[in-house]
Amino acid sequence: PENPRRIPPPIQFLRGTLPFALSIFVALPTADGNAAAAPNMPPSEDPRAPEAPEGGKATATATKYFWGDTPEEEEYYASQGVHNRQSYFTTPTGLRLFTQSFEPVSPAGDPLPVKASVYMTHGYGSDTGWLFQKIAISFAQWGYAVFCADLLGHGRSDGLRCYLGDMEGVAAASLSFFLHTRRGEALRELPAFLFGESMGGAATILMYLQSKGDLPGACPWTGLIFSAPLFVMPEDMKPSRWRLFLYGLLFGAADTWATMPDNKMVGKAIKDPDRLRVIASNPRRYTGSPRVGTMRELARVCGYIQARFGDVEAPFLTAHGTDDGVTSPASSTLLYERAASADKTVKLYECMYHSLIQGEPEENSRRVLADMRAWIDDRVRRYGGAVQPCGQDAAATAPV
């Protein structure tokens, strides 16, 4: 008679072949043509410079700062007309964030009045301490107090490098610092804006939704600014469902493995080769392959954010390059079409890549910054210190 405990043939097949299949699968070449790290080995970071947009190699030259080895930080910031402070902030969960502020000062170094405060979030694999801070410096030069935090798992903040298994938690950590600062006596009566670049745009919209849904009283943000936000992934950037399915069979054990293809993200993001070399020289830039859990979470969060577009009621500006190969321009156009805000603006820049400010030639980045300055200056004049009720007295601006 048949053994009642006999394992069905399909299960026998899976038990016999799945470990072998996975061992081959995780050793498949990544996007740069090299075998991915084996699952029982600690993830390693690729020390080589990323590919340049035209297929050549970007030579990363190690320097002390993004502007070179000299001058020292204090002298450099003074030459830019800003004062920089760096510190660590402990979140409600006990994790530490590296934070920076940039505020306008006179040539003599005296503090200048500020129009509003801006809270900035960088993109995937980056941090606030290299070329990204040029954005913060620009806003400070316009008369804004700017505050930045390295995301968890990035730069000098706590967390496994570039592991983003819980984007809501990552956003909440940065939000705790931003709200702590925004509610300070010097800033509480001034307008306040959230700014997010690339994946930082996803974190920023999550912060806005968390502020809007969980905090008593009015939303604390006057407006939102997005630069090439990650709300929609291009098809060739989406993680393979089969990879995620097979890794998922390991019940979370593979989540931190750095074994997902990166699809040459840097080459699709940076147009200017000189700026590519500067970005490649960032000693804190993550250069390993994307982690399994990170890609799964980003795919999930993109779907979640798209479903919540209709809940966006604050004034916003979103900007995208039409040749962006990292985050789809549909991220900006769909937000514009679906958001409930009556004050909404989308800017589409023909033939520009993903990194609109850090990675484009100077004339292009200046154009983007000029548009952002015009938008935020106008909102400060329009709304003053009050956070306007959603949808008040504003007209939407169509794509240009």
pLDDT (average), residues 6-32? 44
Is the predicted pLDDT of residue 115 greater than 50, yes or no?
yes
Q: What's the sign of the alpha-carbon dihedral 266, 267, 270, 272?
A: positive
pLDDT (average), residues 325-351? 96
Any domain includes 396: no
**Catalytic residue ranges:** 198, 324, 354
pLDDT (average), residues 325-335? 95
The pTM for the full model equals 0.82
Strand ranges in 262-336 using DSSP code E only, listed in sequence order:
316-321
CATH of the domain at 149: 3.40.50.1820
- Token readout for 27 is 């050793």
pLDDT (average), residues 202-224? 86
**Which distant-in-sequence residues (6+ apart) come within 8 Å of 197 by Cβ?**
120, 121, 122, 123, 132, 135, 226, 227, 228, 229, 357
Is the predicted pLDDT of residue 50 greater than 80, yes or no?
no
Is the predicted pLDDT of residue 343 greater than 50, yes or no?
yes
Any domain includes 10: no
**Residue 334 near residue 386, CB atoms below 8 Å:** no
Any domain includes 12: no
Any domain includes 260: yes
**Domain limits for position 74:** 55-383
Any domain includes 41: no
Q: How many secondary structure helices (H) and strands (E) does the chain include?
A: 11, 8
pLDDT of residue 218: 67
The CA–CA distances, whole Å, from 127 to 17, 279, 286 equal 42, 11, 9
| Residue, of 256 and 11, whose pLDDT is higher | 256
pLDDT of residue 21: 46
What is the spatial distance between Cα 129 and Cα 94, in angstroms, rounded to a whole number?
22
Cβ atoms < 10 Å from Cβ of 273: 15
Any domain includes 400: no
What is the spatial distance between Cα 190 and Cα 145, in angstroms, rounded to a whole number?
10
Establish how many alpha carbons lie within 13 A of residue 277's alpha carbon, considering only the half-sphere containing its beta carbon.
Answer: 12
| Residue, of 59 and 253, whose pLDDT is higher | 253
Cα dihedral 372→377→378→382 (10° resolution): 140
Per-residue pLDDT reduced to its tens digit, 175-200: 999 999 999 999 999 999 999 999 99
Among the listed residues 195, 207, 170, the one whose alpha carbon sits nearest the alpha carbon of residue 297 = 170
Per-residue pLDDT reduced to its tens digit, 255-305: 898 888 876 677 778 999 999 999 889 999 999 999 999 999 999 999 999
Number of domains in the chain: 1
Q: With bands split at pLDDT 50, 70 and 90, how would you rate the model's confidence at 46? A: very low
Any domain includes 7: no
Any domain includes 357: yes
Average pLDDT, the chain: 83
| Residue, of 242 and 374, whose pLDDT is higher | 374
**Lowest mean per-residue pLDDT among 39-53, 99-113, 164-178, 189-203:** 39-53
Burial class (CB in 10 A: 0-12, 13-18, 19+), 13: exposed
